[in-house]
Amino acid sequence: MVSPGPARNFNFQKDNFMARISFDDLLSIGAHFGHVVRKWNPNFQPYVLMEKNGVHIINLEETLKNLEKALHFITDVISRNGEILFVGTKKQAKDIIQQEADRCGMFYVVERWLGGTLTNFSTIKKSIKRLQLLEKEGSSIYENLTKKELQMLNRERIKLSDQHRGIKDMRRLPDAVIVVDAFFESIAIKEANLLEIPVIAIVDSNTDPREIDYPIPANDDSIRTIQLIISTLTDAVIEARTKDDAVEDTKLDSEQSDSKGDKSEIKEEQLSEETKIETVAEELEVNTEEFDSPTEKAAKKKSVKAKTTLGTDSEEKKTKGNKDSQKKPAVTEEEEN
């Protein structure tokens, strides 16, 4: 069993929980109405404000504080690339759970909870593989079958699709479970507790909150209350994912800039090495002249003189050509005629 308090100690300001949902928001949608007194669970006492007209009134300040703790926990789960399973099979919660789970890209169960969905997940995965085989177009399983056999396979496909439509792509156990009406989904909560999977749940006055890691005391029969709380939890999932994506983008940009800087440094090092090699070669040429024999020195002097004479001859030819072009008389129109 888990105490009603948070499993982790988060550092958050007292007024921080007022940023997402206000006290008046919860009051206006009737989130404070609990069950009749005769149905209450004594362990829910810390969240009861008063009794009025035979109905327990939930303390909405406790609702806000516990909701904020759940939001911090969700942010922590998503920051570690965790996955969350939404569970809500009661009539008031089905559509809301499916819509919000789809909005944040998480898994959900809105039909009857199958015993062993978590504790016997290996069998559930086999059932999901069977569904994927039946849904595959052109599968060999449909070959050479009678009309009756095809109808039976079609019924099996529809049944499995309804049972597993929200967890078809779930490859492993979730890192957290969000539940609407902990009393109604008691089997799912027991399985999560056995596997030590943290549970966030909307709990009413007829529920024992000690079985929930992050209980959110509120009216779990009100559609508007369910919508407000679940959508707020979903927003936290989306915001945490957006932050993670932004951090990854900045990391990639920094890595790319670092790689560019490394490449430029390597080029500069190569250029400096080339210049060093050239200077060393020149120094070697100069130093080797001291050890040359007289014949080698004479040969080098001749080659230098030949280069200089060739250069002077070419320059003299250019100057002569320019002078001849200047001395050549211009042709008049009369001479041409």
Q: Quote the mean pLDDT of the chain.
A: 80
Question: pLDDT tens, 224-245?
Answer: 999 999 999 999 999 999 886 6
**Same structural domain, 99 and 189:** yes
Q: What is the rounded average pLDDT of the residues 169-175?
A: 94
**Same structural domain, 200 and 92:** yes
Query: Residue 280: its pLDDT value, please?
Result: 53
Question: With left for phi above 0 and alpha for psi between -120 and 50, is residue 265 left, alpha or beta?
Answer: alpha
**Same structural domain, 157 and 183:** no
**Same structural domain, 239 and 181:** yes
**Same structural domain, 125 and 65:** no
| pLDDT tier for residue 281 given thresholds of 50, 70 and 90 | low
Contacts of 216 (CB under 8 A, 6+ apart): 63, 66, 67, 70, 200, 201, 202, 203, 229
| pLDDT tier for residue 7 given thresholds of 50, 70 and 90 | very low
Three-state DSSP state, 50: strand
**Same structural domain, 141 and 220:** no
Q: Per the domain annotation, does 39 fall within a domain?
A: yes
Query: Residue 11: its pLDDT value, please?
Result: 38
Looking at the 3D structure of the chain, how many domains does it have? 2
> What is the pTM for the complete model shown?
0.68
Three-state DSSP state, 37: helix
> Distance of alpha carbon 67 from its chain centroid, rounded?
23
Torsion of CA 173, 178, 183, 185, to 10 degrees: -40
**Same structural domain, 35 and 126:** no
Angle between helices 94-104 and 223-289 (to 10 degrees): 10
Q: In this prediction, what percent of the chain has a pLDDT beyond 70?
A: 66
Q: Per the domain annotation, does 228 fall within a domain?
A: yes
Three-state DSSP state, 108: strand
Among candidate residues 108, 129, 164, the one where a domain is terminated: 164
**Same structural domain, 177 and 135:** no
Contacts of 77 (CB under 8 A, 6+ apart): 84, 175, 176, 198, 240
Three-state DSSP state, 129: helix
Contact 107, 166 (CB under 8 A): yes
Angle between helices 147-164 and 121-135 (to 10 degrees): 130
Q: Per the domain annotation, does 65 fall within a domain?
A: yes
Q: What is the rounded average pLDDT of the residues 112-123?
A: 93
The 107-109 sheet, strands edge to edge = 107-109, 84-87, 176-180, 199-203, 214-217
Query: Residue 132: its pLDDT value, please?
Result: 85
Q: Domain containing 44: what range?
A: 14-118+173-243
